[in-house]
Copies of this chain bind each other. A is one copy, B any other.
Amino acid sequence: MDFDKYCIDRPKHVRLADWKTDDKGKLTKEKAEALMAELQGKLLDLQERLYAENQRSLLVILQARDAGGKDGTIKHVMSGLNPLGVSVVPFKVPNELEAAHDFLWRVHAVAPRKGQVTIFNRSHYEDILVPTVHGLADKEVIDKRYRHVRHFEELLADSGTRILKFYLHISKEEQRQRLQERLDDPEKHWKFNPGDLKERALWDEYTTVYERILSETSSSFAPWYVIPADRKWYRNYLIASVLVQTLESMDLKYPRIAEGIEHITIE
């Protein structure tokens, strides 16, 4: 299948209304779930090679509106991975120490080390989204952040980090249903944050900022994928596929050791 149609790998004008939230390719849920088992096997194998090679790394950035499916993606796509080589970094509101530094300081500190897959659950893009929507920073400060983000991602890419950025694209109606579910199911209450309702009221404002982010921070070394995410099974299938395709393209090899090692006998 061709995943390029979900990919933005250079700056260009993006309007989210042009991107479907409920696409499902030509797949059915059953078919996608069968394919997932195979993808997860490949993913585990590729991850082991990345870990063994210990030269490069993979950074996966997940961005979405509330209830957009970030946690679900991690659970369903990443659970089969070997925790030895994976770490998930959640980004919350900056704490006092973090806020006392430039906005990329805390991000840089948790960039993936060689051999690792690191998943950012939210990311430095929140430091563009929230200040813009809530008017917490001057326009020129925010404008500069777009540049700083591009430069930062280029630095990581030049140092052996493959970067994949996923925007999980859901409809406003889908968000309504998911937030309502969190209220209706006592085992999901803990996921509900009353603040989410205030952000939901700013739906269009967030759309505008996401469009600018997708338009201006897409690059060949740090592409954005706009993932139709109303259907969880299609979202999972797509993301797993892109991960496998990307890792396969890296041509990961078990490292060669000095010659002669195979003649050693252990006593």
- A-to-B contact residues, CB < 8 Å: 44, 52-54, 71, 74-75, 78-84, 86-88, 90, 119, 121, 176, 179-180, 183-184, 186-187, 189-192, 197, 200, 254-257, 261-262, 264-267
Q: Tell me if A179 and B52 are in contact (CB < 8 A).
A: no
Q: Tell me if A267 and B176 are in contact (CB < 8 A).
A: yes
Q: How far is the CB of A225 from chain B (nearest CB, A)?
A: 20
* B residues near A52, Cβ cutoff 8 Å: 190-191
Q: Tell me if A264 and B183 are in contact (CB < 8 A).
A: yes
Given contacts A186-B254, A257-B192, A179 and B266 within 8 Å (CB-CB): yes
Q: How far is the CB of A84 from chain B (nearest CB, A)?
A: 5
Q: Tell me if B82 and A75 are in contact (CB < 8 A).
A: yes
In Å, the complex CA distance between A93 and B128 comes to: 39
Q: Tell me if B190 and A254 are in contact (CB < 8 A).
A: yes
Q: How far is the CB of A171 from chain B (nearest CB, A)?
A: 14
Q: How far is the CB of A56 from chain B (nearest CB, A)?
A: 14
